[in-house]
Amino acid sequence: MPRSLLTSGSSLAFVIAMAACPGVASANEELLRLQQDPNQWVMPTGDYANTRYSALDQINKDNVGDLRVDWTFSTGVLRGHEGGPLIIDGVMYVHTPFPNNVYALDLNNDGQILWSYKPTQDPDVIPVMCCDTVNRGVAYGDGMIFLHQADTTLVALDAKTGEVKWSVKDGDPTKGETGTSAPMVVKDKVIIGNSGGEFGVRGKVTAYNTQTGEIAWRAYSVGPDDEMLVDPQQTTELGKPIGENSSLNSWEGDQWQIGGGTTWGWLSYDPELNLVYYGTGNPSTWNPVQRPGDNKWSMTIFARDADTGMAKWVYQMTPHDEWDYDGVNEMDLFDRPINGQERKLLVHMDRNGFGYTLDRETGELLVAEKFDPVVNWATRVDIETGKPERDPRYSTEANGEDVNTTGVCPAALGSKDQQPAAYSPQTGLLYVPTNHVCMDYEPYQVAYTAGQPYVGATLSMYPPEGEDNLGNFIAWDPVAGEIKWSIPEPFSVWSGALATAGDVVFYGTLEGYLKAVDAQTGEELYSFKTPSGIIGNVTTYTHNRKQYIAVLSGVGGWAGIGMAAGLTGDTEGLGAVGAYKSLDQYTQLGGTLTVFSLPD
Residue 83 phi, psi dihedral angles, 5° rounding: 75, -160
pLDDT digit string, tens, across residues 48-59: 999 999 999 999
Cβ atoms 260, 197 nearer than 8 A: yes
Q: Which residues of 462-486 are buried (b: 16+ CB within 10 A; e: fewer)?
A: bbbeeeeebbbbbbbbbbebebbbb
Tell me the pairing of strands 204-209 and 189-192: antiparallel
Residue 333 has pLDDT above 60, yes or no: yes
pLDDT digit string, tens, across residues 458-506: 999 999 999 999 999 999 999 999 999 999 999 999 999 999 999 999 9
Q: Catalytic residue positions?
A: 324
| Closest of 85, 87, 110 to residue 95, by C-alpha | 85
Question: What is the pLDDT averaged over residues 401-413?
Answer: 97
Q: What is the pLDDT of residue 452?
A: 96
Give the confidence band of 26 by pLDDT, cuts at 50, 70, 90.
very low
Per the omega criterion (within 30 degrees of 0), is the bond before 99 cis?
Answer: yes
pLDDT digit string, tens, across residues 181-221: 999 999 999 999 999 999 999 999 999 999 999 999 999 99
Give the confidence band of 246 by pLDDT, cuts at 50, 70, 90.
confident
Q: Which amino acid is at 354?
A: F
Residue 10 has pLDDT above 80, yes or no: no
**Long-range CB contacts (within 8 A, 24+) of 230-237:** 230/310, 230/311, 230/314, 231/310, 231/311, 234/310, 234/312, 235/310, 235/311, 235/312, 235/313, 235/314, 236/312, 236/313, 236/314, 236/362, 236/363, 237/313, 237/314, 237/315, 237/316, 237/363, 237/386
Question: What is the pLDDT averaged over residues 330-358?
Answer: 97
What is the DSSP code (8-state) at residue 322? S
Residue 555 has pLDDT above 70, yes or no: yes
Question: What is the pLDDT averaged over residues 552-570?
Answer: 95
What is the DSSP code (8-state) at residue 10? H
The half-sphere exposure of 23 on its side-chain side, counting CA atoms within 13 A, is: 12
Residue 11 has pLDDT above 50, yes or no: no
Q: What is the pLDDT of residue 244?
A: 87
Q: What is the pLDDT of residue 261?
A: 98
For domain 3-597, give the CATH number: 2.140.10.10
Q: What is the pLDDT of residue 428?
A: 98
Average pLDDT, the chain: 94
Q: What is the pLDDT of residue 23?
A: 37
Give the confidence band of 567 by pLDDT, cuts at 50, 70, 90.
very high
- Please state the domain extents for the chain: 3-597
Residue 17 has pLDDT above 50, yes or no: no
Cα distance between residue 366 and residue 358, in whole Å: 5
Q: What is the pLDDT of residue 339?
A: 87
What is the DSSP code (8-state) at residue 282? P
Q: What is the pLDDT of residue 24?
A: 36
Q: What is the pLDDT of residue 14?
A: 33
Q: What is the pLDDT of residue 67?
A: 98
User: Which of 49-53, 318-322, 397-401 comes out lowest in average pLDDT?
Assistant: 397-401
Cβ atoms 510, 82 nearer than 8 A: no
374 Cβ neighbours under 8 A, 6+ residues apart: 409, 410, 436, 438, 464, 467
Question: Containing H/E element for 121?
Answer: none
Cα distance between residue 203 and residue 327, in whole Å: 12
pLDDT digit string, tens, across residues 94-112: 999 999 999 999 999 999 9
Q: How far is CA 125 from CA 122, 180, 283, 451, in A?
A: 6, 12, 22, 10
Q: What is the pLDDT of residue 28?
A: 78
What stretches of 175-214 adopt beta strand conformation (E)? 184-186, 189-192, 204-209
Residue 12 has pLDDT above 50, yes or no: no
Residue 34 phi, psi dihedral angles, 5° rounding: -65, -35
Residue 248, SS3 per DSSP:
helix
Q: How far is CA 408 from CA 374, 411, 436, 454, in A?
A: 9, 7, 12, 22
Cβ atoms 347, 354 nearer than 8 A: no
Cα distance between residue 479 and residue 486, in whole Å: 17
pLDDT digit string, tens, across residues 274-307: 999 999 999 999 999 999 999 999 999 999 999 9
Q: 408: left (phi > 0), else alpha (psi -120 to 50), else beta? A: beta
